Amino acid sequence: MPNTTRQTRENRTITIDFQNEATYFQLLGDGKAFVEFVIAFILSLGFQLKHKAMCSGGGCLTRHSHYLRVRLGGVTIWRLQCTTCHAVFTVLPHFVLRSRQMRPEVARDALLATHGGLSLELCAVLCHISPMALYRLICALGQQSLGTVLTRCGLPLPVYFLADEKHSRCLTNKVYVPTIGCGRVLWHLGYTMEASAAAFTQSYQEFQHAALQQEPTYCVRGILTDGFDSTIKSLRTLFPGARLGYCLRHAINKLPGKLTAIASPVRKALRSQFHTLLYRARQRKSLRVFALGQRLRHFADHVTQKAGVANGERVRRWVQEKKAGWYAVLADPQMPVTSTVLDQAHNAIERKLCMMKGFHHPKGSQPAFLRGLAHLYNLVPYQRRAQHAGQCGVEVEGGTVPTHDWFLNLQILTSGGFR
């Protein structure tokens, strides 16, 4: 057989909630009603279909063709076509997963177990699937960018955000996971093999690129980091107009490490005084930047008195190096103050990175896998006893999700056929 070059087709699959399987099979017999149902559902979401370039989408949708998913017991899947641009959309009913024979119930349980912290292997054993099938499922979710899915939920692109990298390991290599988060949602979860400014710039640029495609006038006002040099350099390159602040909590936690060869109570007392200093500076609104400069000088003097010249000098140099970043936090009331939520997100992701051997599969796509995990992080609701019980991160941040079912939301929102 001649080996014809395969055309890479655009993924124009859309998942439609038909409520129950009986409705779907009933509608299969009535083409007009089927198309109307699909259109009504898309309208209810407020989404638009991804037509070909130059098509306004004003044309009609007609039934184009159908095929049988034999492995799913012969479910009929219909394709719809735009009469203007001839783009073809594959309509997947809610009970079928794209390119996968796994039943949604199985996928749902396995993903929830994964999100909850179980290893791929254990999830796979519990749900009677192979670890690789689960790994591929997560990678498939990660085909859509985080920004695309979050803006589909009505969340505005973040004007202020947190940026930080998780340092991790992949077999013997050190790897880094550059992350952008805002409140309870992750906007970027990248993957680099180096901790250089160039590598981080490349990763954060993916977020910037996706954001500018959504909104050409997108502009960042403020970014909070932990003050890591490569992070600062990369963000300054990409977002020259943004205020770059350093996490205050991180500063408080770093201080004890600057104080050597002193008794523990003295170190604790100094940390507590430093905490009070930053806390008070935050409370005073107008004069706080000026006041902070003075207080930091006094604090360094105080360290010299209590812990000796060497420690005093070390703290003074550290303050000198970092204070611009603390000022930046205090000068704009809208700036995030601590990166605690991002640390929490990293810890949640880290548990999966360590445990999942599938992650280290040579043919695996780490970036897609990480994005898939991030979608779960944003869309799986918090447990019953959590502060935001029953809500997912997207909802906590004021976004809306298509249905009450998180897994269906995941299916719909990561569909390739929506614009």
Binding site for Zn ion (CB under 5 A): 51, 55, 82, 84-85
By C-beta, is 40 or 60 nearer to Zn ion?
60
- 336, 160 Cβ separation under 8 angstroms: yes
By C-beta, is 62 or 272 nearer to Zn ion?
62
The single residue listed with the structure tokens 């990248």 is 190
By C-beta, is 55 or 396 nearer to Zn ion?
55
By C-beta, is 36 or 215 nearer to Zn ion?
36
The percent of the chain in helix, strand and coil, each rounded to the nearest 5, is: 50, 15, 35
Q: Which burial class, exposed, middle or buried, applies to 337 when counting CB atoms under 10 A from its CB (0-12, 13-18, 19+)? A: middle
- Least Å distance, CB 77 to Zn ion, is 20
Q: C-alpha distances in angstroms, 149 versus 31, 90, 347, 373, 419?
A: 30, 19, 23, 13, 10
> Whole-angstrom Cα distance, residue 160 to residue 77?
43
By C-beta, is 47 or 327 nearer to Zn ion?
47
- Least Å distance, CB 51 to Zn ion, is 3
- Tokens, residue 221: 């006002």
- Cα-flanking dihedrals φ and ψ of residue 247, to 5°? -55, 125
Q: List, as one string, the DSSP characters of 10-61.
A: ---EEEE--SSHHHHHHHHT-HHHHHHHHHHHHHHHT--B---TT--S-S-E
By C-beta, is 56 or 172 nearer to Zn ion?
56
- Cα-flanking dihedrals φ and ψ of residue 287, to 5°? -90, 10
> 77 pairs with which residues across the strands?
67
> Whole-angstrom Cα distance, residue 207 to residue 211?
6
- Least Å distance, CB 36 to Zn ion, is 18
- Least Å distance, CB 59 to Zn ion, is 5
Identity of residue 249: R
By C-beta, is 80 or 155 nearer to Zn ion?
80
Nearest to 163 by CA among 102, 206, 132: 206
- Least Å distance, CB 10 to Zn ion, is 12
By C-beta, is 50 or 371 nearer to Zn ion?
50
- Least Å distance, CB 411 to Zn ion, is 23
- Cα-flanking dihedrals φ and ψ of residue 163, to 5°? -135, 135
- Least Å distance, CB 85 to Zn ion, is 3
Quick one: residue 170, left, alpha or beta (phi over 0 = left, psi -120 to 50 = alpha)? beta
- Least Å distance, CB 52 to Zn ion, is 6
- 368, 136 Cβ separation under 8 angstroms: no
By C-beta, is 183 or 416 nearer to Zn ion?
416
- Least Å distance, CB 41 to Zn ion, is 18
- Least Å distance, CB 419 to Zn ion, is 11
- 109, 127 Cβ separation under 8 angstroms: yes
By C-beta, is 51 or 115 nearer to Zn ion?
51
